[in-house]
Amino acid sequence: MNRIDRLTAILVQLQSKRIVKAEEIAERFQISVRTVYRDVKALMEAGVPIGSEAGTGYFIVDGYHLPPVMFTENEASAMMMAGKLVERMTDQSIQTSFEGALFKIKAVLNEAQKDHLESLQDHIEVMKPRVTLPAQAGNFLTDLQKAVVGKQVIYLHYFSNHQNELTEREVEPIGLFYYSAAWHLIAWCRLRNGFRDFRCDRIKELKSTGEVFQPRSISTMQEYFNSLQQANVEMKSATVLFDRKEAHYIQNSRHYFGFVSEEEADGQIRMHFLTADLNMMARWLLSYGRGVEIEKSEELKETIQQLVEELQEHYLKVDAQ
């Protein structure tokens, strides 16, 4: 990217939120912080009203706006591809909003770019699962996003799979988390007096109470993850070592079992998982035989051992007949 294009992109980034740190700009464009300082100075000398807060970052003075932004062909293609994922992984409320945004994007494209998207549309598809994903049920994701940002106490009519009962409760939402093919609401539950994980497809009714809550000791998703084991008894952690060959084949399927992160480990790949169903995860891992090793989770090891014993007993009986 040449400097003129980078300066334009930096200006767009500065308008994307209230404060932008120099480190964020440097990371995005793979440049030094010193270069960021020079670029911002060049924008200011060109008449762009950029302010700064010591130790915080840069901001555009209120009232200044760029002319309508034109999308590149690659950017428009990326948005169209994202729409395919939105269609499969979110509910109707998000799908409707994204569809409206995509129409606005298409409206500012030139004729060649529009033709490009029309041609690409029929050649990209996200495989539809054999059963409807839980994430597509309900119509609450948009309302939940507003509640998270506005720190609004919400009322839930919720089916607890663990207790096998419908419950009514008020919660203080802190974030949304997608794992195991479903969206989950992370919130402080006033009924249980603790942080809980609510599957969004099990929410039967949602209302805003109009009350604004004060953030507790845990107010972000990262803080929640750091204390997840203590906060939610339904979630279990596991660390699994995969041979490189096996790891190559599970890039997609691992996300259905609570994949969190991975790292190199002496010729193997160490993967960390958070899952609510160790039994299902054990059955999945069995299919990779000696290519996997449970590094952390005695319960997962015991579950696999039990499954192996059951299989052995079953086939011994078959051979004896």
3-class secondary structure per residue, 212-233: ECCCCCCCCHHHHHHCHHHHCC
Least confident range of 56-70, 85-99, 127-141, 202-216 = 127-141
Report residue 178's pLDDT band, with 50, 70 and 90 as the boundaries.
Answer: confident
In the predicted structure, residue 204 carries a pLDDT above the cut 60: yes
What's the CA gap between 199 and 179, in Å, rounded? Answer: 10
What local confidence, expressed as pLDDT, does residue 292 receive? Answer: 93
- The per-residue pLDDT for 153 is 96
Give the per-residue pLDDT at 226. 66
Q: Is the pLDDT of residue 318 over 50?
A: yes
Quote the pLDDT of residue 65: 67
d(CA 104, CA 115): 16
Best mean pLDDT range from 52-56, 157-161, 275-279, 310-314: 310-314
The model's pLDDT over 242-295, given as tens digits with 9 standing for 90+, comes to: 998 888 888 778 877 888 888 888 889 999 998 878 888 999 999 898 899 999
Report the range of poorest mean pLDDT among 92-106, 117-131, 155-169, 287-301.
117-131
pLDDT computed for residue 138 by the predictor = 60
Position 209 scores a pLDDT of 94
For 32-78, the pLDDT digits (tens) are: 999 999 999 999 998 889 998 888 899 988 777 666 667 788 888 88
Please check whether residue 202 is in contact with residue 165, taking contact to mean a CB–CB distance below 8 angstroms: no
User: 312 vs 221, which has greater pLDDT?
Assistant: 312
- Does the predicted TM-score (pTM) go above 0.95? no
CA atoms of 21 and 52, how far apart (whole Å): 9
Bridge partners of 53, per DSSP, are 57
Q: Between residues 230 and 306, which one has the greater pLDDT?
A: 306
Q: Which residue has tokens 């839930």?
A: 156
Nearest residue to 227 (alpha-carbon basis) of 282, 254, 270, 188: 188
pLDDT at 181 > cutoff 80: no
> 22 and 38 in contact (C-beta within 8 Å)?
no
Q: Rounded mean pLDDT of 9-23?
A: 86
pLDDT at 231 over 70: no
Percent above pLDDT 70 for the chain? 88
pLDDT confidence of residue 237 = 87
Section 161-189 average pLDDT: 85
Residue 164 phi/psi, 5° resolution? 55, 50
Q: What is the pLDDT of residue 133?
A: 45
